[in-house]
């Protein structure tokens, strides 16, 4: 339990925009120094492709990248699903390519789904590709570090017209036709520092490479949204900017996978547990549904839950006299179904919707395919 409290405290000081105390700033100095080294490595990596030291390769089909500037938690997976389904509805054959973070053992190429659900477990696929494979019938999902090789396989074996790179903004080795960058409006840049002191993967000037910028969770940042838009326009004043809001699609019991009315969370004492990039956003969503979140247990992103973790979660629920446990769909795939719980365990399924008309965004997606047909 002490480890959980330490992780939550460290998360708050490193990732949130509020300034930490002087003692915390001193304690985090080694991480700041490491972030300067990371800055140099990131700049050198990009420069090697910009100057032609390394070659970017191009695939014979359309490539859409959905990525971000920060470490996780911006809503890439829900938007990936949205874009894949939209192309599917237009009659295009779609495949999703993921690096497969956390997949074991690591591999150069693996088919997670040929379009008929996962053919491997989540440990082999990684939690996000596994979730995509479950939620996108008819869409092949592949993992591999070499996105060109993986994309070539998807094009040749599945006849893909369009490939979606899940978390591809920093994957410079593959040319993209559309680079979509997501920014979490509720916590856009954390402390403003680069990893490992903060959550930024690149400086904000990297927004200049974006073909489209998407602000997510805008319903959680109504007061700060105008200022954030101005900040982003400082770095990219030419490309379109869109706003996405979080929507709750469903609530399921973890043991039976049966749907539960969202009203079950109203005035309900809830213990939430997550291993995602922005845990506070999950709490905000639960609160908006009327739940009383009496405890939040934060685990590392992509954390493989252990029996000891589960014992801690259940013990916390007992201590807080909670009526249920709630987690995310991504976390749920990392739980063992046979683990006992004295109270219901719910999975909250999150989606996205455009805060304004999505016509401009879909026009940009459609224009890409007109270009692809002209090749």
Reported as a single tens digit per residue, the pLDDT across 83-125 is 999 999 999 999 999 988 777 766 679 999 999 999 999 999 9
pLDDT of res. 17: 61
Token readout for 313 is 């979660």
245 CA to centre of own chain? 14
Task: Quickly state the pLDDT bin for 46 (edges 50, 70, 90).
Answer: confident
φ and ψ of 55, to 5 deg: -100, 135
pLDDT of residue 318: 97
pLDDT of the residue at 154: 98
Q: How far is CA 295 from the centre of its chain?
A: 23
Q: Is the pLDDT of residue 261 over 80?
A: yes
Token pair of 71 as six digits: 């470490």
- Closest by CA to 63, choosing from 112, 96, 109, is 96
- pLDDT of the residue at 334: 95
Task: Please give the average per-residue pLDDT across 201-229, as a whole number.
Answer: 95
Give the number of other Cβ atoms within 10 Å of residue 362's Cβ: 15
Do residues 256 and 226 make contact, with C-beta atoms less than 8 angstroms apart? Answer: no
For residue 25, pLDDT beyond 70: no
Whether the Cβ atoms of residue 90 and residue 366 lie closer than 8 Å to each other = yes
375, pLDDT greater than 70: no
Dist CA 171 CA 139 (whole Å)? 22
pLDDT of res. 5: 60
The residues near 180 (Cβ < 8 Å, ≥ 6 apart) are 64, 65, 66, 67, 79, 210, 211, 212, 213, 214
Kindly state the average pLDDT of the residues 248-269.
Answer: 96
68's tokens: 């971000």
Q: How confident is the model at residue 374 (pLDDT cuts 50, 70, 90)?
A: very low
pLDDT at residue 372, rounded to an integer: 60
Beta strands across the sheet bearing 212-216: 110-113, 141-143, 94-98, 162-166, 62-68, 178-184, 212-216, 241-253, 345-354, 324-328, 269-274, 292-298
- What pLDDT does residue 354 have? 92
């Amino acid at each position: 339990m002490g480890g959980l409290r330490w992780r939550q405290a460290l998360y708050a000081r490193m990732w949130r925009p509020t300034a930490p105390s002087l003692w915390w700033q001193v304690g985090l100095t080694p991480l700041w120094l490491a972030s300067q080294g990371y800055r140099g490595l990131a700049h050198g990596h990009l420069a090697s492709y910009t100057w032609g030291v390394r070659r970017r390769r191009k695939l014979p089909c359309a490539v859409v990248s959905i990525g971000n500037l920060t470490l996780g938690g911006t809503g890439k997976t829900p938007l990936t699903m949205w874009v894949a389904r939209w192309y599917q509805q237009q009659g295009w054959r779609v495949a999703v390519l993921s690096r497969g973070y956390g997949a074991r053992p690591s591999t150069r190429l693996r088919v997670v789904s040929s379009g008929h659900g996962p053919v491997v477990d989540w440990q082999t696929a990684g939690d996000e590709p596994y979730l995509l494979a479950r939620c996108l019938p008819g869409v092949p999902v592949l993992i591999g570090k070499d996105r060109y090789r993986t994309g070539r396989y998807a094009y040749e074996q599945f006849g893909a017209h369009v490939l979606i790179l899940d978390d591809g903004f920093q994957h410079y080795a593959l040319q993209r036709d559309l680079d979509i960058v997501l920014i979490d409006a509720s916590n856009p840049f954390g402390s403003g520092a680069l990893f490992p002191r903060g959550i930024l993967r690149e400086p904000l000037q990297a927004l200049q490479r974006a073909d489209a910028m998407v602000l997510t969770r805008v319903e959680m940042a109504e007061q700060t949204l105008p200022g954030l838009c101005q900040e982003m326009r400082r770095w990219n004043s030419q490309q379109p900017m869109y706003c996405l809001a979080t929507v709750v699609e469903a609530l399921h019991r973890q043991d039976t996978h049966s749907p539960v009315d969202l009203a079950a969370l109203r005035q309900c004492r809830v213990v939430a547990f997550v291993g995602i990039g922005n845990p506070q956003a999950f709490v905000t969503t639960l609160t908006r549904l009327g739940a009383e979140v009496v405890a939040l247990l934060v685990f590392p992103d992509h954390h493989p839950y252990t029996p000891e973790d589960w014992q801690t979660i259940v013990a916390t629920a007992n201590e807080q006299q909670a009526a249920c446990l709630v987690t995310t769909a991504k976390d749920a795939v990392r739980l063992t179904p046979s683990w006992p719980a004295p109270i219901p365990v719910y999975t909250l399924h999150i989606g996205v919707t455009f805060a304004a008309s999505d016509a401009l965004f879909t026009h940009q997606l459609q224009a890409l395919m007109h270009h692809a047909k002209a090749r």
